[in-house]
Chains A and B, each alone.
Chain A
Amino acid sequence: GAGVSQSPRYKVAKRGQDVALRCDPISGHVSLFWYQQALGQGPEFLTYFQNEAQLDKSGLPSDRFFAERPEGSVSTLKIQRTQQEDSAVYLCASRSRGTGAETQYFGPGTRLLVL
């Protein structure tokens, strides 16, 4: 079966531009996570959805970051007025259940470069 997919794979934005990053989780997966990964670092949690409900957004670095999952499947991470410090790889992951000790499956990531 298909894994987690993300698009675009690469995005170059001018400072101040808005961007939208898409995640298609594994079909039927309840949980969806977004992470930010800076160069040479481990992924850092941004936000978590259980179906369409955003249950945790404590990792979003500023109010310029917004995520949604309106129908409980595809999710979009939007970054408004991008800044150079937003340059990173944005990873999406999904998990079949809502809770419990179970692994997440990651997509390939979107590499964002803000000039």
Chain B
Amino acid sequence: GESVGLHLPTLSVQEGDNSIINCAYSNSASDYFIWYKQESGKGPQFIIDIRSNMDKRQGQRVTVLLNKTVKHLSLQIAATQPGDSAVYFCAENRDANTGNQFYFGTGTSLTVIP
């Protein structure tokens, strides 16, 4: 399943399928990006990050892709599990040298259907 970021804030996928969550960022000067997972009643939890000098980074079952040309970020989750159900936020850091402000997207709610 695939979301279209702000225009489709919910995504439902079957357990075992791959998920793709998209995020459009606004500032071409942003140089550091983080994906967070937030479960109900909890604070955001770090999933994976990527710097602007990269276009792809892989973690355990997750991959982040960065397309600076169109200012687009995506999170791919392989073999989605029920425990992956949560709201996912992308966050951009507009100047990693100062690193003071992170700007969060609206979020995408992922529901995994067993």
Q: Which residues of A approach B to under 8 Å, CB–CB?
A: 4, 31, 33, 40-45, 48, 55-56, 58-59, 91, 93, 95, 98-109
A100 to B44, CA, bound (A): 20
B41 touches A106 (CB 8 A): no
B104 touches A103 (CB 8 A): no
Contact of A101 among B32, B100, B105 (CB under 8 A): B32
B98 touches A99 (CB 8 A): yes
Q: Which residues of B approach A to under 8 Å, CB–CB?
A: 31-32, 34, 36, 41-46, 49, 51, 89, 91, 93, 96-107
Summarize A's interface: helix, strand, loop or mixed. Answer: loop
Nearest residue, chain A, Cβ from B49: A103
Q: Within 8 Å CB of B98, what residues of A?
A: 99
Nearest residue, chain A, Cβ from B32: A101
A104 to B103, CA, bound (A): 12
B106 touches A41 (CB 8 A): yes
**What is the CB-to-nearest-CB distance from B52 to chain A, in angstroms, rounded to a whole number?**
9
**What is the CB-to-nearest-CB distance from A49 to chain B, in angstroms, rounded to a whole number?**
10
